[in-house]
């Protein structure tokens, strides 16, 4: 098992990609903190994870609130005694074209997707720097690189994550911390289920591999970056998009 005994804190892990990452890491032997605004679903995910034979706790957390982030990491370390892996996965969309984009929709997306990752990374680095080891993996998006009509807030937040990742990688490499990002393309989850079949068919035409990705495709990349196999990788972006962006 590639993550035997590791302690992982995953945000937005109650469902979708975050849940798949949590289950995938647990299968590799990691103990998991399932942090999510939706504590009921987070609790169910933690139950599923414990059934795999590792430890898991559900933590109610809105990543955009500094006080909640501090207490969540306190709760995690009290339970697990260490923090080896942080996955900044919690994210939302509030789509509209620039001229119709409301300031509150800009703020909501930037607060959760970008500021939330800043707050969680800061708490994680405090712990990891003392340990002189740790992995931070942030879930960006292909739209950070390509842009996407209707997602001026979302694509800006996901592009911001790349700068955050590279800077953490430079600032804390000497403390044994690796920071990397993953940029998924179109992945089948609740976030993308809302699109019409016609839109989905149109999008498939832009993907050389001709199909959407699954949460497990993203999970495989996260496990790789969290494992010893990625010891010499930091400050990088791994693209998981079926060739949609090269």
Sole window of 84-92, 124-132, 194-202, 225-233 interacting with ligand NAP (rule: CB under 6 A): 84-92
172 included as an active-site residue: no
Site for ligand NAP in 104-163 (CB under 6 A): 112, 116, 139, 141
Binding of ligand NAP by 237 (CB under 6 A): no
Span near ligand NAP by CB under 6 A; candidates 32-40, 99-107, 123-131, 145-153: 32-40
- The reply to whether 222 sits near ligand NAP by the rule CB under 6 A is no
The catalytic position among 154, 172, 232, 245 is: 154
Near ligand NAP by CB under 6 A, which window of 75-83, 89-97, 172-180, 201-209? 89-97
**Contact pattern from residue 36 through residue 75 relative to ligand NAP, giving x for each residue in contact according to CB under 6 A and a dash for the rest:** xxx----------------------xxxx-----------
> Among 148, 192, 214, 220, which residue sits at the site for ligand NAP (rule: CB under 6 A)?
192
Print the SS3 string covering the chain. Answer: CCCCCCEEEEECCCCHHHHHHHHHHHHCCCEEEEEECCHHHHHHHHHHHHCCCCCEEEEECCCCCHHHHHHHHHHHHHHHCCCCEEEECCCCCCCECHHHCCHHHHHHHHHHHHHHHHHHHHHHHHHHHHHCCEEEEEECCCHHHHCCCCEHHHHHHHHHHHHHHHHHHHHHHHHCEEEEEEEECCECCHHHHCCCHHHHHHHHCCCCCCCCECHHHHHHHHHHHHCHHHCCCCCCEEEECCCCCC
Count the Cβ atoms, other than its own, within 10 Å of residue 171.
13
Shortest separation between residue 21's beta carbon and ligand NAP, angstroms? 9
* Nearest to 151, CA basis, from 186, 202, 198: 186
Q: Which is nearer to ligand NAP, 129 or 206 (CB)?
A: 206
What angle is formed at CA 133 by the lines to CA 233 and CA 137, rounded to 5 degrees? Answer: 50
User: Distance from CA of residue 93 to its chain's centroid?
Assistant: 14
Applying CB under 6 A, what is the total number of residues that bind ligand NAP? 29
Instruction: Give me the half-sphere count of Cα atoms (radius 13 Å) on the Cβ side of residue 191.
Output: 21
Give the nearest distance from C-beta 238 to ligand NAP in angstroms: 12
Interface with ligand NAP, residue 92, by CB under 6 A: yes
Residue 36 or 84: which CB sits closer to ligand NAP? 36
One residue of 67, 81, 104, 190 binding ligand NAP per CB under 6 A: 190
Q: Using CB under 6 A, which of 24, 33, 91, 242 touches ligand NAP?
A: 91
Q: Closest distance between ligand NAP and the C-beta of residue 22, in Å?
A: 11
The token pair at 160 is 């911001």
> What is the binding site for ligand NAP (CB under 6 A)?
11-12, 14-18, 36-38, 61-64, 89-92, 112, 116, 139, 141, 184, 186-187, 189-192
| Residues marked as catalytic | 154
């Amino acid at each position: 098992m590639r993550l035997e005994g590791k302690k992982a804190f995953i945000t937005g892990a109650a469902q979708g990609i975050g849940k798949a990452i949590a289950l995938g890491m647990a299968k590799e032997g990691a103990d998991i903190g399932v942090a999510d605004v939706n504590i009921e679903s987070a609790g169910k995910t933690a139950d599923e994870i414990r059934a795999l034979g590792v430890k898991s706790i559900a933590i109610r957390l809105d990543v955009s609130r500094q006080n909640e982030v501090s207490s969540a990491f306190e709760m995690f370390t009290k339970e697990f005694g260490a923090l080896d892996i942080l996955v900044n996965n919690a994210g939302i969309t509030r789509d509209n074209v620039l001229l119709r984009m409301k300031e509150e929709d800009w703020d909501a997306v930037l607060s959760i997707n970008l500021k939330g990752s800043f707050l969680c990374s800061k708490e994680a680095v405090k712990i990891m720097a003392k340990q002189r080891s740790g992995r931070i993996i942030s879930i960006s998006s292909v739209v950070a690189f390509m842009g996407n009509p209707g997602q001026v807030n979302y694509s800006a937040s996901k592009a911001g994550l790349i700068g955050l990742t590279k800077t953490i990688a430079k600032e804390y490499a000497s403390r044994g911390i690796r920071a990397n990002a993953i940029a998924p393309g179109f992945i089948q989850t609740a976030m993308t289920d809302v699109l019409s079949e016609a839109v989905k068919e149109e999008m498939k035409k832009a993907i050389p591999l001709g199909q959407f990705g699954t949460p497990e495709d993203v999970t495989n990349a996260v496990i790789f970056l969290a494992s010893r196999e990625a010891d010499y990788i930091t400050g990088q972006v791994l693209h998981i998009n079926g060739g949609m962006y090269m």
